[in-house]
Amino acid sequence: MTPSKTLKRLYSLPEAAEYLGRSPWSVRRLIWSGELPQVRAGRRVHVDIRDMDAFIDKNKVTDSPE
- The model's pTM is 0.81
Q: What local confidence, expressed as pLDDT, does residue 47 receive?
A: 98
Q: What local confidence, expressed as pLDDT, does residue 7 receive?
A: 83
Share above pLDDT 70 across residues of the chain, in percent, rounded to a whole number: 89
| Phi, psi dihedrals of residue 55, rounded to the nearest 5° | -60, -45
Model confidence over 5-22: pLDDT tens digits?
678 999 999 999 999 999
| Phi, psi dihedrals of residue 4, rounded to the nearest 5° | -80, 145
Amino acid in position 22? R
Model confidence over 30-44: pLDDT tens digits?
999 999 999 999 999
Single out the residue of 39, 61, 34 nearest to residue 50, CA to CA.
39
Residue 52 has a CB neighbour count (10 Å cut-off) of: 19
CA 20 to chain centre: 6
